[in-house]
Amino acid sequence: MPRRSMPAEWTTLAHLFDEINESFIDYDGQVGFLLRCAGRFLPRSRTALDLGCGTGRHARLLAEQGIRTVGIDLSHRLLRQGPKAAPAGPLLVCGDLAALPLRGRFDLVYALNFVLSFLQTNEALLNALREVRRVLSPRGVFVMDYHVFFPPEADVKLREGWSEECVVRGQRLVVSHDPTVDWTTQLCTDEMTYRFLEGRRIVRELRTVEVRRISLPQDLACLLQATGFQVVAHCRRFDLDEEPAELGVVVARRARPARAG
Protein backbone atom coordinates (compact mmCIF):
# COMPACT_ATOMS: atom_id res chain seq x y z
CA MET A 1 0.00 0.00 0.00
CA PRO A 2 1.58 3.32 -0.97
CA ARG A 3 2.39 5.52 1.98
CA ARG A 4 0.68 8.90 1.78
CA SER A 5 3.13 11.70 2.00
CA MET A 6 2.34 15.10 3.50
CA PRO A 7 5.66 16.90 3.79
CA ALA A 8 6.05 19.59 6.44
CA GLU A 9 6.43 22.32 3.82
CA TRP A 10 2.85 21.74 2.69
CA THR A 11 1.48 21.73 6.24
CA THR A 12 3.25 22.95 9.40
CA LEU A 13 5.84 25.00 7.49
CA ALA A 14 3.49 26.23 4.74
CA HIS A 15 3.93 29.84 5.90
CA LEU A 16 7.68 29.51 5.19
CA PHE A 17 7.31 27.69 1.85
CA ASP A 18 8.15 30.69 -0.35
CA GLU A 19 11.10 31.81 1.72
CA ILE A 20 12.59 28.29 1.84
CA ASN A 21 12.07 27.52 -1.84
CA GLU A 22 13.29 30.89 -3.10
CA SER A 23 16.72 29.78 -1.89
CA PHE A 24 16.64 26.49 -3.78
CA ILE A 25 14.52 27.08 -6.89
CA ASP A 26 15.08 29.48 -9.77
CA TYR A 27 11.42 30.30 -10.49
CA ASP A 28 12.26 32.98 -13.08
CA GLY A 29 14.53 30.54 -14.92
CA GLN A 30 11.86 27.81 -14.88
CA VAL A 31 9.18 30.17 -16.18
CA GLY A 32 11.58 31.28 -18.93
CA PHE A 33 11.97 27.60 -19.83
CA LEU A 34 8.16 27.12 -19.90
CA LEU A 35 7.73 30.10 -22.20
CA ARG A 36 10.47 28.87 -24.53
CA CYS A 37 8.87 25.40 -24.68
CA ALA A 38 5.42 26.80 -25.40
CA GLY A 39 6.81 29.31 -27.90
CA ARG A 40 8.28 26.53 -30.03
CA PHE A 41 4.82 25.22 -30.84
CA LEU A 42 2.39 28.06 -30.23
CA PRO A 43 3.13 31.60 -31.37
CA ARG A 44 1.31 32.89 -28.32
CA SER A 45 0.05 30.97 -25.30
CA ARG A 46 -3.00 32.59 -23.82
CA THR A 47 -3.85 30.20 -21.02
CA ALA A 48 -1.89 28.05 -18.60
CA LEU A 49 -2.61 25.48 -15.90
CA ASP A 50 -0.21 24.96 -13.00
CA LEU A 51 -0.63 21.48 -11.49
CA GLY A 52 0.43 21.34 -7.83
CA CYS A 53 0.94 25.10 -7.88
CA GLY A 54 1.86 25.40 -4.17
CA THR A 55 1.71 29.13 -3.42
CA GLY A 56 1.48 29.90 -7.14
CA ARG A 57 4.98 31.23 -7.81
CA HIS A 58 5.14 30.12 -11.45
CA ALA A 59 1.49 31.06 -11.97
CA ARG A 60 2.11 34.61 -10.76
CA LEU A 61 5.05 35.09 -13.11
CA LEU A 62 3.07 33.77 -16.09
CA ALA A 63 0.10 35.98 -15.23
CA GLU A 64 2.51 38.94 -15.29
CA GLN A 65 3.25 37.97 -18.91
CA GLY A 66 -0.46 38.33 -19.72
CA ILE A 67 -1.18 34.59 -19.67
CA ARG A 68 -4.44 33.70 -17.95
CA THR A 69 -3.27 31.13 -15.44
CA VAL A 70 -5.11 28.75 -13.15
CA GLY A 71 -3.24 26.94 -10.39
CA ILE A 72 -4.50 23.86 -8.62
CA ASP A 73 -3.23 22.35 -5.39
CA LEU A 74 -4.35 20.00 -2.64
CA SER A 75 -2.95 22.09 0.18
CA HIS A 76 -5.25 24.82 1.55
CA ARG A 77 -2.42 26.07 3.67
CA LEU A 78 -0.14 26.68 0.68
CA LEU A 79 -2.91 28.24 -1.40
CA ARG A 80 -3.62 30.67 1.44
CA GLN A 81 0.00 31.90 1.15
CA GLY A 82 -0.54 32.69 -2.55
CA PRO A 83 -1.68 35.96 -4.13
CA LYS A 84 -5.19 37.15 -3.36
CA ALA A 85 -7.60 36.96 -6.30
CA ALA A 86 -7.03 39.95 -8.59
CA PRO A 87 -8.25 40.53 -12.18
CA ALA A 88 -4.77 40.15 -13.69
CA GLY A 89 -3.46 37.58 -11.20
CA PRO A 90 -3.67 33.80 -11.35
CA LEU A 91 -6.72 31.96 -10.09
CA LEU A 92 -5.68 29.41 -7.47
CA VAL A 93 -8.07 26.55 -6.79
CA CYS A 94 -8.03 23.75 -4.23
CA GLY A 95 -8.34 20.37 -5.86
CA ASP A 96 -6.72 17.11 -6.85
CA LEU A 97 -4.79 16.99 -10.11
CA ALA A 98 -5.97 13.39 -10.59
CA ALA A 99 -9.58 14.61 -10.88
CA LEU A 100 -9.38 18.15 -12.18
CA PRO A 101 -12.43 20.23 -11.34
CA LEU A 102 -12.01 22.07 -14.66
CA ARG A 103 -13.69 22.02 -18.04
CA GLY A 104 -11.64 24.53 -20.06
CA ARG A 105 -8.66 23.89 -22.31
CA PHE A 106 -5.19 25.28 -21.65
CA ASP A 107 -2.34 26.07 -24.06
CA LEU A 108 0.33 25.30 -21.51
CA VAL A 109 -0.03 22.75 -18.70
CA TYR A 110 2.87 22.15 -16.35
CA ALA A 111 3.78 20.36 -13.12
CA LEU A 112 7.10 21.56 -11.77
CA ASN A 113 9.40 20.74 -8.91
CA PHE A 114 8.52 17.08 -8.66
CA VAL A 115 4.75 17.45 -8.25
CA LEU A 116 4.05 14.26 -10.21
CA SER A 117 6.77 12.38 -8.33
CA PHE A 118 4.40 12.29 -5.38
CA LEU A 119 2.10 9.99 -7.37
CA GLN A 120 3.48 6.67 -6.32
CA THR A 121 1.85 4.14 -8.63
CA ASN A 122 1.55 3.79 -12.40
CA GLU A 123 -2.21 3.89 -11.98
CA ALA A 124 -2.12 7.25 -10.18
CA LEU A 125 0.28 8.69 -12.73
CA LEU A 126 -1.78 7.40 -15.66
CA ASN A 127 -4.93 8.99 -14.18
CA ALA A 128 -3.17 12.30 -13.81
CA LEU A 129 -1.77 12.18 -17.37
CA ARG A 130 -5.24 11.39 -18.75
CA GLU A 131 -6.55 14.45 -16.95
CA VAL A 132 -3.76 16.58 -18.39
CA ARG A 133 -4.61 15.38 -21.88
CA ARG A 134 -8.30 16.14 -21.33
CA VAL A 135 -7.62 19.79 -20.49
CA LEU A 136 -4.71 20.42 -22.91
CA SER A 137 -5.67 22.43 -25.97
CA PRO A 138 -5.13 20.61 -29.30
CA ARG A 139 -1.84 22.39 -30.01
CA GLY A 140 -0.94 22.76 -26.36
CA VAL A 141 2.29 21.89 -24.58
CA PHE A 142 2.73 19.88 -21.38
CA VAL A 143 5.90 20.20 -19.28
CA MET A 144 6.74 18.11 -16.23
CA ASP A 145 9.85 17.29 -14.26
CA TYR A 146 10.61 14.14 -12.31
CA HIS A 147 13.22 12.36 -10.22
CA VAL A 148 15.74 10.35 -12.16
CA PHE A 149 18.62 9.76 -9.75
CA PHE A 150 21.11 8.80 -12.41
CA PRO A 151 24.32 7.30 -11.10
CA PRO A 152 27.09 7.94 -10.26
CA GLU A 153 26.43 11.26 -8.48
CA ALA A 154 23.07 10.08 -7.21
CA ASP A 155 24.49 6.80 -5.88
CA VAL A 156 26.43 8.69 -3.26
CA LYS A 157 23.52 10.97 -2.42
CA LEU A 158 21.15 8.08 -1.98
CA ARG A 159 23.64 6.10 0.10
CA GLU A 160 24.86 8.86 2.35
CA GLY A 161 22.03 11.39 2.35
CA TRP A 162 22.65 15.09 1.94
CA SER A 163 21.76 18.42 3.45
CA GLU A 164 21.05 21.89 2.20
CA GLU A 165 20.65 25.17 4.02
CA CYS A 166 19.18 28.62 3.73
CA VAL A 167 18.23 31.58 5.92
CA VAL A 168 14.58 31.93 6.91
CA ARG A 169 13.33 34.90 8.95
CA GLY A 170 16.87 35.58 10.10
CA GLN A 171 17.49 32.01 11.28
CA ARG A 172 19.68 29.40 9.62
CA LEU A 173 17.66 26.45 8.42
CA VAL A 174 19.45 23.18 7.70
CA VAL A 175 17.39 20.53 5.93
CA SER A 176 18.91 17.03 6.12
CA HIS A 177 17.80 14.19 3.87
CA ASP A 178 18.07 10.53 4.81
CA PRO A 179 16.71 8.58 1.85
CA THR A 180 15.95 4.89 1.43
CA VAL A 181 15.12 3.59 -2.01
CA ASP A 182 13.07 0.52 -2.76
CA TRP A 183 13.99 -0.24 -6.37
CA THR A 184 11.21 -2.78 -6.74
CA THR A 185 8.63 -0.01 -6.36
CA GLN A 186 10.95 2.82 -7.44
CA LEU A 187 9.93 4.73 -4.31
CA CYS A 188 12.33 6.89 -2.36
CA THR A 189 11.34 7.40 1.27
CA ASP A 190 13.17 10.50 2.41
CA GLU A 191 13.27 11.07 6.15
CA MET A 192 13.88 14.77 6.41
CA THR A 193 14.88 16.87 9.41
CA TYR A 194 14.42 20.63 9.49
CA ARG A 195 16.70 22.30 12.03
CA PHE A 196 16.38 26.02 12.74
CA LEU A 197 19.56 27.35 14.31
CA GLU A 198 20.65 30.45 16.17
CA GLY A 199 24.41 30.27 16.07
CA ARG A 200 25.04 26.61 16.86
CA ARG A 201 21.96 26.21 19.02
CA ILE A 202 19.02 24.29 17.55
CA VAL A 203 15.93 26.34 18.36
CA ARG A 204 13.43 24.17 16.55
CA GLU A 205 13.57 20.72 15.05
CA LEU A 206 10.96 19.10 12.88
CA ARG A 207 10.92 15.71 11.18
CA THR A 208 8.92 14.78 8.14
CA VAL A 209 8.79 12.01 5.56
CA GLU A 210 8.47 12.48 1.82
CA VAL A 211 7.80 9.49 -0.40
CA ARG A 212 8.62 10.19 -4.02
CA ARG A 213 8.66 8.11 -7.11
CA ILE A 214 11.89 7.75 -9.05
CA SER A 215 11.15 7.49 -12.75
CA LEU A 216 13.18 6.01 -15.54
CA PRO A 217 13.00 8.03 -18.73
CA GLN A 218 11.85 5.13 -20.91
CA ASP A 219 9.08 4.16 -18.49
CA LEU A 220 7.81 7.69 -18.29
CA ALA A 221 7.86 8.04 -22.09
CA CYS A 222 5.82 4.83 -22.24
CA LEU A 223 3.20 6.12 -19.76
CA LEU A 224 2.96 9.36 -21.74
CA GLN A 225 2.51 7.45 -24.96
CA ALA A 226 -0.17 5.24 -23.39
CA THR A 227 -2.16 8.36 -22.43
CA GLY A 228 -2.01 9.91 -25.89
CA PHE A 229 1.09 12.10 -25.70
CA GLN A 230 4.05 12.45 -27.97
CA VAL A 231 7.30 13.42 -26.23
CA VAL A 232 8.88 16.32 -28.12
CA ALA A 233 11.82 16.97 -25.81
CA HIS A 234 13.40 15.14 -22.93
CA CYS A 235 16.25 16.75 -21.06
CA ARG A 236 17.98 16.40 -17.75
CA ARG A 237 17.87 20.00 -16.66
CA PHE A 238 16.06 23.26 -17.27
CA ASP A 239 19.15 24.77 -18.84
CA LEU A 240 22.66 23.81 -19.74
CA ASP A 241 24.32 25.10 -16.59
CA GLU A 242 25.41 22.66 -13.92
CA GLU A 243 22.43 21.20 -12.12
CA PRO A 244 21.97 18.07 -10.04
CA ALA A 245 21.75 14.91 -12.10
CA GLU A 246 18.55 13.67 -10.49
CA LEU A 247 16.29 15.98 -12.46
CA GLY A 248 14.55 15.06 -15.69
CA VAL A 249 12.26 17.33 -17.72
CA VAL A 250 9.79 16.15 -20.34
CA VAL A 251 7.99 18.31 -22.88
CA ALA A 252 5.03 16.60 -24.56
CA ARG A 253 2.12 17.34 -26.89
CA ARG A 254 -0.99 15.46 -27.90
CA ALA A 255 -0.03 12.57 -30.16
CA ARG A 256 -1.38 12.79 -33.68
CA PRO A 257 -3.90 10.04 -34.45
CA ALA A 258 -2.25 7.25 -36.43
CA ARG A 259 -3.19 7.20 -40.13
CA ALA A 260 -5.18 4.18 -41.26
CA GLY A 261 -3.35 1.76 -43.56
Binding interface with ligand SAM (CB under 6 A)? 10, 21, 52-54, 57, 72-75, 78, 96-98, 112-115, 118
Least distance to ligand SAM, CB of residue 260, Å: 37
CB 27 within 8 A of CB 59: no
CB 134 within 8 A of CB 201: no
Nearer to ligand SAM, 107 or 190 (CB): 190
DSSP state at residue 203 = E
- The Cα–Cα gap between 171 and 57 comes to 23
Amino acid at 47: T
Nearer to ligand SAM, 52 or 140 (CB): 52
Nearer to ligand SAM, 74 or 232 (CB): 74
Least distance to ligand SAM, CB of residue 256, Å: 29
Least distance to ligand SAM, CB of residue 248, Å: 15
Nearer to ligand SAM, 98 or 197 (CB): 98
Among 7, 41, 26, residue whose Cα is nearest residue 109: 41
**Residue 42: alpha-carbon gap to chain centroid:** 23
Nearer to ligand SAM, 12 or 197 (CB): 12
Amino acid at 205: E
Least distance to ligand SAM, CB of residue 78, Å: 5
CB 116 within 8 A of CB 146: yes
Strands 68-73 and 47-51: parallel
Torsion of CA 231, 237, 241, 244, to 10 degrees: -160
Nearer to ligand SAM, 144 or 220 (CB): 144
Half-sphere exposure of 143 toward its Cβ, with a 13 Å CA cutoff? 27
CB 234 within 8 A of CB 253: no
Least distance to ligand SAM, CB of residue 152, Å: 26
Least distance to ligand SAM, CB of residue 156, Å: 23
Least distance to ligand SAM, CB of residue 45, Å: 18
CA distance to 88, 109, 117, 187, 224, per residue, from 120 (Å): 35, 21, 7, 7, 16
Can you tell me whether residue 178 is helix, strand or coil? strand
Nearer to ligand SAM, 10 or 229 (CB): 10
